[in-house]
Amino acid sequence: MLISCDVAIIGAGTAGLAAYEAATEAGADAIVLEAGPGGTTCAASGCMPSKLLIAAAEATESVRRLETFGLALEGRLRIDGPAVLARMRRERDRFVAGVMRSTSGIPNDKRLRGHARFLRETRLAVTGNEVTARAVVIATGSRAAVPKPFRALGDLLLTNESVFELPDLPRSLAVVGAGPLGLELAQAFGRLGTKVAVFDQGDAIAGLRDPVAARSAREIIGRELPLHLGTEVEARRVEGGAELSWSGASEGGEVFERVLVAAGRPPNLDGLALRNSGLALDERGTPLFDPETMRCGESAVFIAGDAGHDRPVLHEASDEGAIAGRNAALWPKAESRPRRVPFAVVYTDPEIAMVGPPLPSLAERKPVIGAVDFADSGRARIMGRSAGILRVYADPEDGRLLGGAIVGPEAEHLGHLLAFVVQRGLTADEALALPYYHPTLEESLRGALRKLCGQLRTLPEARAGSMEFGPGS
Ligand SMILES: Cc1cc2nc3c(=O)[nH]c(=O)nc-3n(C[C@H](O)[C@H](O)[C@H](O)COP(=O)(O)OP(=O)(O)OC[C@H]3O[C@@H](n4cnc5c(N)ncnc54)[C@H](O)[C@@H]3O)c2cc1C
């Protein structure tokens, strides 16, 4: 059957659904093509189940930390693995059902089940049907990369697709990848009683590009979890599990019941037959696109969400879907929409927040950095959580805030405050003039801003005396 429409959207995840809504709102006749069961990665095997597991882990940790406050439980904490996982899945399934309910408004003839691939720029094949559109949105998401040494592990291997389906907590777990996803799940399983070790080829942690914040995160999290950074790992199936042997910055060997691979998420583009689309691709095979219009070159194809391999977090997938959907509907016109300040949170303990462009990419502007240690925060000490660091960057030319990195208690909330003032284009002085209650964690932000303002004021003198303002302040 040949189906004609204005906009064909490939993928009914967060980005694809946002694209559908925006395209129809702009008056287009849009169709969504979906290969899987729907429900979105975020709800089914991403943000939500991982945060549910972390919430259970936090509950165990708060019991363990009772001693800090002079409290004790009679008897011992019993962790019922199947019950923990069942609660996670029950709540996860509610989120998925919520997504399904919200998408049930899409008429049946505006959704097509099947794997889509390009025949031409605006012509697609979907399981026996062909769809021709004025414009196409690629919103196919991403999937876990499984590096070669782990492919032969069979059912011992877990990814985000399978880890949330485990019937019980494994006795031991090797986590491959010290990025946000690997670290969050490693800590959660560790706190729930699984013996965990983390492996990574590089020495970065949680995606932190600020070296001082990264060191702080490595030290604090490394006290709880063995972090084998800078290692190459070999894996093979043996009696009782998977034997991992590693070499590099550290060496060793150990048998783990399961191996969770969280070693990056390449975009789902390989099944799309992109060569037929005529799109220009980068060296990784991702279409080149304008991040303010989501348009791929001069074509009638738009891209959104993890498929674009640019900002792989949920709120960006949603924004990109909305931009792509609207512009696909308006094609050949394309409206530019300025993007929000980059912002990401990692739900480890301590939490991690990253705001603005990564520090290395700001190097040319020689940012001034104000930093405070959470050891000096009254509120953090009250809470018994006084570990971590907060660093804020400002432009030395005009004092405008550029971003920052936070490793510390409730960094998700402090990160939002920082993201708000950065996006508003406030200077360090202006942000310092805002109200801060006492005693709060927000006072740490004020402390970092005070230091920034102090440095910015002395900057002309410092420059005259050719003093150096490095990132270690
Ligand atoms: C474990 C984990 C934890 C995460 N935690 C967070 C978090 O705390 N906060 C946060 O902001 N982000 C988090 N993320 C990232 C977030 O989930 C993603 O950025 C977001 O879900 C991407 O949405 P998307 O629409 O691009 O992709 P998806 O939701 O994956 O949608 C893509 C859809 O395209 C379909 N598809 C693919 N190829 C085809 C094809 N050829 N034809 C038809 N359909 C196709 C797929 O079946 C899928 O339904 C997490 C991710 C993971 C894995």
Cα of 252 to ligand 1 centre, how many Å? 35
> Ligand 1 pocket, 115 CB below 6 A?
yes
Question: Which of 53, 112, 176, 314 for a ligand 1 pocket mutation test, highest count of atoms within 8 Å of Cβ?
Answer: 314
pLDDT at res. 463:
58
Of all protein residues, the one whose alpha carbon is nearest to atom 2 of ligand 1 is: 46
Q: How far is CA 109 from the centre of its chain?
A: 34
Cα of 151 to ligand 1 centre, how many Å? 22
- Residue-level pLDDT, tens digit, the chain, 473 residues: 999 999 999 999 999 999 999 999 999 999 999 999 999 999 999 999 999 999 999 999 999 999 999 999 988 899 999 999 999 999 999 999 999 999 999 999 999 999 999 999 999 999 999 999 999 999 999 999 999 999 999 999 999 999 999 999 999 999 999 999 999 999 999 999 999 999 999 999 999 999 999 999 999 999 999 999 999 999 999 999 999 999 999 999 999 999 999 999 999 999 999 999 999 999 999 999 999 999 999 999 999 999 999 999 999 999 999 999 999 999 999 999 999 999 999 999 999 999 999 999 999 999 999 999 999 999 999 999 999 999 999 999 999 999 999 999 999 999 999 999 999 999 999 999 999 999 999 999 999 999 999 999 987 665 554 433 333 33
Cα of 18 to ligand 1 centre, how many Å? 13
> Ligand 1 pocket, 159 CB below 6 A?
no
> Ligand 1 pocket, 241 CB below 6 A?
no
pTM of the model as a whole:
0.96
